[in-house]
């Protein structure tokens, strides 16, 4: 039996278990510096305040944006689970607002060489993560690297953060284009949602989305949704400097209120009626499946 067949059997056995499934939301951007990690953190805080149990996976390997913004240094990371035998609870760090986060560490390179027993161990731990969290937010790296695309094609819900800068809009389109070209991207499975960050007015946010939607609809034929705008806010910058999410430090700030509105849209029952929760184990096996089959 080859590794691909082993993995299929593990996935099949995992799928047959009756267990809770977390909602996995992946936050991404076409370029760096557009506020992606800030968006991931503040949405996590707002969703937590709405009664959801939330964990962030910092998948921006090589950078430690989430832990820096949280002002907390994790003892362990995802690599310790995969390669050092730590369990899922040992690698979760609890930050401000009682939001958990998992540092990605050096990433998931070498997954194709893991044994069946190791894959079983990892998947069992990720199944447990589904019982710990209602929502798992994955903060990817910026841009169009293979690692970022692997996370995106595995995700049923993608939040694309962009700004009014022409380069940001262009890079956002390039990311959607690269995603569309990926052999394992399924437009029926993945819902693409846009957040307009650092806008001066609500109208500027709508115009930004309309520009991106026009080219995506014309050339890629992919439906995208608009979640809403986040205004440029000096209070957010102050919060970042003090390593505290603006949603906790200054809940009345314009940006914090905007994050609250977007979190409310994400939790809207009507907009989520066709959303299927597949859980973290399924997300992970989709990535490993691609590495083994590719």
Distance of CA 222 to the CA centre of its chain: 20
Report the predicted TM-score, pTM, of the whole model to 2 decimal places: 0.89
Distance of CA 107 to the CA centre of its chain: 15
Which of these, 252, 248, 259, lies nearest to 71 by C-alpha position?
248
**Sheet holding 191-199: strands in order across?**
93-94, 100-103, 54-59, 135-140, 23-28, 157-162, 191-199, 224-231
The segments of the chain whose pLDDT lies below 70 read: 1-19, 61-65, 105-115, 288-294
Which of these, 123, 173, 115, 160, lies nearest to 25 by C-alpha position?
160
Q: What is the pLDDT of residues 2-28, one digit of tens each?
A: 555 665 565 556 555 556 789 999 999
Residue with tokens 């939330």: 54
For residue 219, the 8-state DSSP code is: I
- Confidence at residue 293, expressed as pLDDT on a 0 to 100 scale: 44
- Confidence at residue 10, expressed as pLDDT on a 0 to 100 scale: 59
User: Can you give the C-alpha Rg of the chain in angstroms?
Assistant: 18
């Amino acid at each position: 039996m080859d590794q691909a067949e082993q993995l299929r059997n593990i996935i099949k056995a995992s799928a047959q278990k009756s267990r809770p499934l977390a909602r996995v939301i992946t936050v991404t951007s076409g370029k760096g510096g557009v506020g992606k990690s800030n968006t991931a953190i503040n949405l996590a805080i707002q969703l937590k305040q709405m009664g959801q149990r939330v964990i962030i996976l910092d998948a921006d390997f090589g950078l430690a944006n989430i832990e820096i913004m949280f002002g907390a240094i994790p003892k362990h990371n995802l690599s310790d689970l995969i390669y050092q035998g730590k369990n899922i609870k040992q690698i979760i760090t609890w930050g401000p607002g009682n939001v958990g986060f998992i540092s990605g560490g050096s990433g998931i390179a070498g997954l194709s060489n893991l044994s069946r027993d190791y894959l079983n161990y990892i998947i069992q731990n990720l199944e447990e993560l589904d019982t710990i969290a209602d929502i798992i937010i994955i903060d990817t790296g910026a841009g169009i690297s293979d690692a970022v695309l692997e996370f995106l094609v595995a995700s049923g819900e993608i939040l694309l953060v962009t700004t009014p800068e022409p380069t940001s809009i262009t890079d956002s389109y390039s990311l959607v284009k690269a995603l569309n070209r990926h052999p394992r991207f399924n437009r029926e499975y993945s819902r693409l949602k846009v957040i307009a960050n650092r806008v001066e007015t609500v109208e500027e946010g709508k115009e930004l989305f309309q520009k991106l939607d026009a080219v995506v609809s014309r050339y890629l034929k992919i439906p995208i949704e608009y979640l809403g705008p986040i205004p440029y806010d000096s209070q957010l910058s102050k919060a970042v400097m003090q390593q505290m999410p603006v949603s906790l430090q200054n809940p009345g700030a314009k940006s914090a209120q905007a994050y609250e509105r977007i979190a409310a849209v994400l939790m809207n029952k009507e907009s989520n009626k066709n959303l299927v929760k597949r859980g973290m184990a399924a997300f992970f096996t989709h990535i490993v499946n691609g590495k083994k089959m590719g």
